Structure 1
Amino acid sequence: MTNAMLAQYANYSLAAAALVITVAMLGYALYLAQAVPVRERDEVAAKVPAAVGAPATDEGGDAPAETGTATAVETPMRARKAAGVAGSLSWLGAGFLLLSFALRGFAVDRFPLGNLFEFSIGAAFFAMATFSVAKSRRDLRWLGVFVTAFVVLLLMIASTSWYVEADEVVPSLQSYWLPIHVTVATLAVGVLTVGAIVSGLYLLSDREVGGERFWRKLPSAPALERFSYSLHIIGFPLWTFTLIAGAIWAREAWGAYWTWDPKEVWTFVIWTVYAAYLHARATKNTPRRTANWIAIAGFVCIIINYTVVNFYFIGMHSYAQ
């Protein structure tokens, strides 16, 4: 099989991933539209003790149908099935992204993280993987529509505006640091993407923008804030490693740990903003809303780093477009 054919199959896999994740998004949207408010369900469950020997709650935490009053607040079976199918499609979509990533690598005979298009595919995969793994540990059906919508949007932009033909990379990228430094950076972005989405939901839920009925379908604002914090606690060390590994690689490739390259500067800016978020989060006198606005600012810096800086700031990383 030729490299051109492998590259074509990589594009087919990417298109399949976009289609599958879009269907998953619709499934999660159907679930959220018909879901019984989580907060209302929890309030009823607290007032109606489960009978001895009553069946356990289902995977999503819905009250069992046999618990009397709780039946009145049970999410319809059709909605729960839609979420179940969407969950399976989320895994399948992540699999197609990984397949596209691998085929792209075989097509170019290198690790496929040499430009913005390839980085976007990797970030989309890690965002889907982060959500799917977290969903296997807790009920996150309410989050599915938001994560899948973001990933679909990212794939659309990457496939239309950032696409480049499969090709070799510049000599400075032909290093064992490429799969180490850039993979961890991509993983960090995937985790921080989900964290930013949850932070945004927390900020909106705390004010119940758009109607109380909708936001009651999501966990409470404090629960959203804690979940966002747990994601950022994972993402921050990954980004710290990205910063350090990038400096070591720069020393090998360009002869200096730090050259004030725009990409280096923005990587440090991102690290600083997220460090400020964690500091604010750990400070008792800092409101949770303020801390989460800082987290959102950190994610905005990530977007600037991989879009504006890539295209409009000339530096040692200009080949990453």
Structure 2
Amino acid sequence: MDLVALQSLLDNTSFLVLFLTMLIYWGGAAFPNLPILSSLGTIGMAIANLCMATLLGARWLEAGYFPLSNLYESLFFLAWGVTTMHLVAEWMSRSRWVGVITAPVAMGITAFAALTLPAEMQNSAPLVPALKSNWLMMHVSVMMISYSALMVGSLLAIAFLIVTKGQKVELRGSSVGNGSYRLRKNSEPETVPNVNAVAFQKPSFEGNTAVLTQPNLENLTTTSLSPQMLSLADTLDNISYRIIGLGFPLLTIGIIAGAVWANEAWGSYWSWDPKETWAMITWLVFAAYLHARITRGWQGRQPAIIAAAGFFVVWICYLGVNILGKGLHSYGWFF
């Protein structure tokens, strides 16, 4: 079997399948009365995921080392991770809207790797001495999977901001509480159980008493969003939190593994290399997000803004630093 030809076929197939899948998800959003489009989108994502997994496996057999040594391999591993996290998020949410925002990103990554990178950057090459270590699989793979999870979680937070049109709504407790709704006055929470409402703004108060006398919430000022959009916003907020909660421990493990490997390779656990510095910045951004949700009880727009900023921070850490071609992590990329 010609593994090189198989890789070339699989990378182009992955791009084509993801491009069609993106169109299917967008069509499902435009025509919600066609549920079959949602099923086709999920199937497309699964096929693309399998194609990229096979590509990476063929690359591993051909080169004899774990395929994470250059930008081409790294991009396809990232795209595989994004599609995997997409499938997890879609399974958790049962919402076709997840693919509307994740499919274009996965397609863009594969397009950049398969269609933009020159042939010499796509070919496998012998490992440089610094990468000849068992830590390559441990550190780099965990970091890449964490990037994938954090990207998908951040994309869902961006989708939440788009769906809510920047409005400040109160959602069901996805990180604190047991599903009741939170009303705030002077930073003090009031719990109002109501199974019919999905989200609402602050009620009016008379003295220290919240005006909430009707079970249909007639005395509350509601948002201009439809119940369907509010339900979707609640789902996106919840799943975004869960996926980021999965990616953050992986990022922590990856950074620790990288520090151990750095001590073996360079004689120091931490060198303030640009890659290390931005990995720490990424960790701090998502630590702030989780702290705001778990400790402060934030939900909705405020933590979503932090997560949206985290999306760009992840890209700077993963790709932007390497464009500079400086630091200990610059080998095998652009320069």
Same fold (TM over 0.5): yes
- Which AA in structure 1 matches 2:247? G
Within the candidate set 17, 27, 33, 2:30 is matched to: 33
**Partner residue, 2:37:** 82
Unaligned runs of 5+ residues in structure 1 are 36-74
1:114-166 CA distance string (max 9 Å, x none): 12221111111111111123333441212112211111111112224445121
**Partner residue, 2:159:** 201
**Partner residue, 2:176:** none
Shift of 1:103: 1.3
Shift of 1:178: 0.7
Shift of 1:23: 1.5
Shift of 1:8: 2.9
Shift of 1:177: 0.6
Q: 1:126 to 1:273 in 2, by over 3 A?
A: same
**Partner residue, 1:167:** 125
Correspondences of 1:57-76 after superposition (within 5 Å): 75=33
**Partner residue, 1:135:** 90
Q: Segments of 4+ in structure 1 off by > 3 A?
A: 160-163, 212-220, 283-288
- Which AA in structure 2 matches 1:203? L
SS class of match (2:35): helix
Within the candidate set 8, 13, 33, 1:11 is matched to: 8
Shift of 1:219: 3.7
Q: Percent identity?
A: 32
Within the candidate set 47, 55, 60, 1:92 is matched to: 47
1:296, 1:215 → 2: CA distance?
Answer: 24
**Partner residue, 1:106:** 61
Shift of 1:290: 2.3
**Partner residue, 2:141:** 183
Considering fraction of residues, name the structure with more helix: 1
SS class of match (2:97): coil
Question: 1:263–1:305: 8 Å Cα contact kept in structure 2?
Answer: yes
Question: 1:199–1:296: 8 Å Cα contact kept in structure 2?
Answer: yes
2:22, 2:109 → 1: CA distance?
Answer: 14
Give me the TM-score of the superposition, normalised by structure 1: 0.79
SS class of match (1:153): helix
Within the candidate set 108, 119, 122, 2:74 is matched to: 119
Q: 1:269 to 1:118 in 2, by over 3 A?
A: same
Give me the TM-score of the superposition, normalised by structure 2: 0.76
Aligned pairs, how many? 274
SS class of match (1:169): coil
Correspondences of 1:266-281 after superposition (within 5 Å): 266-281=278-293
1:153, 1:309 → 2: CA distance?
Answer: 19
1:27, 1:236 → 2: CA distance?
Answer: 31
Q: 1:25 to 1:139 in 2, by over 3 A?
A: same
Greater alpha carbon shift after TM alignment, 112-121 vs 81-90: 81-90
- Which AA in structure 2 matches 1:25? M
1:276-315 CA distance string (max 9 Å, x none): 1111223437564222211122221111122221021511
Q: 1:162 to 1:276 in 2, by over 3 A?
A: farther
Question: 1:30–1:82: 8 Å Cα contact kept in structure 2?
Answer: yes
**Partner residue, 1:43:** none
1:167-203 CA distance string (max 9 Å, x none): 1121111111111111111111111111011000111
Q: 1:214 to 1:313 in 2, by over 3 A?
A: farther
Question: 2:155–2:311: 8 Å Cα contact kept in structure 1?
Answer: no
Shift of 1:107: 2.1
Question: 1:196–1:295: 8 Å Cα contact kept in structure 2?
Answer: yes
Greater alpha carbon shift after TM alignment, 290-299 vs 194-203: 290-299
Question: 1:117–1:162: 8 Å Cα contact kept in structure 2?
Answer: yes
SS class of match (2:53): helix
Q: 1:182 to 1:217 in 2, by over 3 A?
A: same
**Partner residue, 1:306:** 318
SS class of match (2:149): helix
- Within the alignment, does 1:221 sit opposite 2:233 as a pair? yes
Question: 2:89–2:243: 8 Å Cα contact kept in structure 1?
Answer: no
